Amino acid sequence: MAMNVTKAVITAAGPGQRTLPVQMLIDRDGVEKPLLQIFVEEVVSAGIEEIGVVVAPGDETSYREAIDDRDGQSHGDRHADVTFILQERPLGYGHAVYCARDFVGGESFLHLVGDHLYISGSDKSCARQLVETATAQECAVSTVQATRESLLPYFGAIGGRRVQGRQELYLVETVIEKPAPTEAELRLAVPGLRAGRYLCFFGMHVLTPTIMEILRDQMAEATPATTLSAALARLAERERYLALEEHAWRYDVGARYGILNAQLALALSGRDRAEVLSLLLELVAQRDLGPTQRS
């Protein structure tokens, strides 16, 4: 059966995520909007019709106000309905995804985390590139990016091999959450990558209904926290699962200076790039001159 991805799940219930989606930013077109609205527009650009946002209890009102979804969220001539899904207790990232099981209803779905901003290096959004790849390949696909070894403590990573005839596609054979460098060298080396670099998750996935079955089984095992990486490792054992290497940028808005970094990235990739660069140069020059030397 052909894959048709019309639903998306955005997880935003983590203790460190809860205030991030309502932060205001200036987008690439110079329009001020909440970060959550930017996420919504990203997934709508991929043809998504329904969006489920997983939130902690008590956050749904502020989130709803942030995007004002009474008439649906739009991107050009496309629209999507937004539903808020409660994660009653913080039982892990994988559990947050599992909370959306009724929303996705046994269908394949796009998933992205609510604490990263994505900026494409092409005319197509990152989400659209991913959905088109998953639809064409008719299987689960995660976005990855070649990442230097020193950053392994911050990401899940995959091991595998290139799909024949496709430079940017990999067959996933192994998934490890935040691997140690020695473990990565033994289990995650991918032929063709530069030495000391590994394919780490970019933060977007198209997942098949099998992932919900795996997450259900994980929770039945009563592990302390259900991780998505562990579920993806099992997914690779059960069915064809690919990774798409993204030539784009991701910005962790939850990191120190993360919001500032994301705002600068948006501004420097948008229509006001020249103005922003001028302001930055002026700021640097003022700091170098010192307060007593400014005219």
| DSSP code at position 26 | E
Residue 282, pLDDT above cutoff 70: yes
* Domain-located, residue 2: no
Q: Rounded CA gap, 3 and 110, in Å?
A: 12
Residue 60, pLDDT above cutoff 90: no
* Domain-located, residue 295: no
Q: What pLDDT is attached to residue 231?
A: 95
* Domain-located, residue 279: yes
Q: What pLDDT is attached to residue 222?
A: 64
* Domain-located, residue 214: yes
Q: Rounded CA gap, 186 and 151, in Å?
A: 17
* Domain-located, residue 147: yes
Instruction: Evaluate the CA torsion angle 144, 9, 228, 22 in order and state its sign.
Output: positive
- The number of angstroms, rounded, from the C-alpha of 21 to the middle of its chain's C-alpha atoms is 13
The label of the residue with tokens 């995959």 reads: 158
174 contacts 233 by C-beta, under 8 angstroms = yes
Mean pLDDT of 173-201: 93
For residue range 222-243, what is the model confidence (pLDDT) as tens digits?
666 678 999 999 999 999 999 9
* Domain-located, residue 277: yes
**Mean pLDDT, the chain, whole residue set:** 89
Q: Rounded CA gap, 131 and 169, in Å?
A: 14
Which pTM value belongs to this model? Answer: 0.90
* Domain-located, residue 44: yes
Q: What pLDDT is attached to residue 83?
A: 94
- The number of angstroms, rounded, from the C-alpha of 126 to the middle of its chain's C-alpha atoms is 9
40 contacts 23 by C-beta, under 8 angstroms = no
When pLDDT is cut at 50, 70 and 90, the band that residue 71 belongs to is very low
249 contacts 261 by C-beta, under 8 angstroms = no
Q: What pLDDT is attached to residue 159?
A: 96
Q: What pLDDT is attached to residue 289?
A: 65
Q: What pLDDT is attached to residue 1?
A: 56
Q: Which residue has the higher pLDDT, 283 or 239?
A: 239
Instruction: Give CA angle at 20 (219, 260), nearest 5°.
Output: 135
Mean pLDDT of 35-43: 92
Q: How many domains does the chain have?
A: 1
> Tell me, what CATH number does 161's domain have?
3.90.550.10
Q: What pLDDT is attached to residue 67?
A: 80
Mean pLDDT of 120-135: 94
Residue 292, pLDDT above cutoff 60: no
Residue 130, pLDDT above cutoff 80: yes
Q: Rounded CA gap, 13 and 83, in Å?
A: 14
Letter string b/e over residues 235-259, b meaning 16 or more CB atoms within 10 A of that residue's CB: bbeeeebbbbbbebbbbbbbeeebb
Mean pLDDT of 201-207: 96
For residue range 78-93, what is the model confidence (pLDDT) as tens digits?
678 999 999 998 888 9
| DSSP code at position 256 | T
Report percent pLDDT > 90 for the chain.
63
The single-letter code of the amino acid at 51 is: I
For residue 256, what are the domain limits? 7-289
Residue 281, pLDDT above cutoff 90: no
* Domain-located, residue 166: yes
Residue 179, both tokens: 């691997």
